[in-house]
Amino acid sequence: MRAKKNRVKATIKDVASIAGVSIKTVSRVTNNEPNVKPSTKNKVIEAIKQLKYTPNHSARRLRARRSGILALFYENPLSGSYVLDVQAGALNTCQTHAYDLLIHRCDTDDLRFEDEIMSLLENKNIDGVILTPPLSDNTQLLNMFLEFNLKVARIAPAFDNQQAIDVRTNDREAAASMVTDLISLGHKKIGFIIGKSSHKVIQYRHLGYKDALKKGNIKVNNDLIAQGSNSFKSGYEAAAQIMTSGTIPTAIFASTDDMAAGVIKYLYSKGIRVPQDISVAGFDNIPLANQLSPSLTTIHQPIQAMSAMATEQLIASLDDDAICEKTIESHLVRRESTGPVRKNKTTSN
């Protein structure tokens, strides 16, 4: 006996693809909305019949009024605590306004990612969406939400978009302030560890590093720059790369705190003291930064405040359609892991 194959249920995206129209047009047809050309409507109806597509009518009826549900989408946060701070900011604001928050983890490397999001949008009655990095800069995902007429708030986007609410911080300037502070302590050989390239804000931190070196008349030395992936392990490995490159730094600035912690671990494994021999700094000010020994000098990124602001503006936009841009500044937090350069000191591996 031949086994029956499980038929994958058609989505509104499939209908739009077969009919050669937008998702929004399919939605208008299934909702019997006016202003759809008869020829276009026929194409959609034929595609619906061909795919045996069944619209979610309960969700359609609910969309006619406010549901009181927002959705927070995230993927591979910069650190383990990042998503917790984002959730806290969004949840606190939602509770203040009597909204519920749906939290969904995404994996853009999964081939089913887009269909998964499409299914969620078809079956959940969502009023608005909050996106975190790197999803904040995923144009395909943003357009999908806009096709569903959803309001979108983006946290820390790298690029502007006139159709979304944007709440960001001054990553480039903040990173420059860290390097400038190290220069003021006498450091000229300052290493830098780049984070995961898919996080566009990491690129701004790298630019800030270069800005400060240029302002301090210090030439960029590529031997002192290594690629990481935001994790503790990658910070450890990047530190090893820098320390064996031939140019020994007097300070290393990692673009995330988790990587900075990995740097400290590597240096201690080689008998190199922090900050007496080499200063170490990070970015984000996660809880671990203050728990390390020595405690980590870092940039405090107002993640929870940014999330709260994005949620607040998103809820407001549901009534007045206003689209805005907001910036909440990050700032330097000096702790024990940085100090003045030791004169006449040669650091060895």
pLDDT, residue 165, reads 95
Residue-level pLDDT at 112:
84
Please tell me the predicted confidence (pLDDT) of residue 78.
Answer: 54
Check: CB of residue 304 under 8 Å from CB of residue 85.
Answer: yes
Q: What pLDDT score does 1 carry?
A: 39
Per-residue pLDDT, 8: 60
pTM: 0.78
- In tens, the pLDDT along 317-341 reads 998 877 889 999 999 999 999 999 9
pLDDT score recorded for residue 75: 85
Q: Which residue ranges form the domains of the chain, and what is each CATH number?
A: 12-55 (1.10.260.40), 69-169+303-329 (3.40.50.2300), 171-301 (3.40.50.2300)
Mean pLDDT by 10 residues, the chain (349 residues): 51 84 78 77 86 64 67 77 91 94 88 84 88 90 86 91 92 98 98 88 94 98 96 96 96 96 98 98 94 97 96 92 90 98 58
pLDDT tens, residue by residue, 111-151: 888 888 888 887 788 999 999 988 998 888 888 888 888 99
pLDDT of 192 reads 98
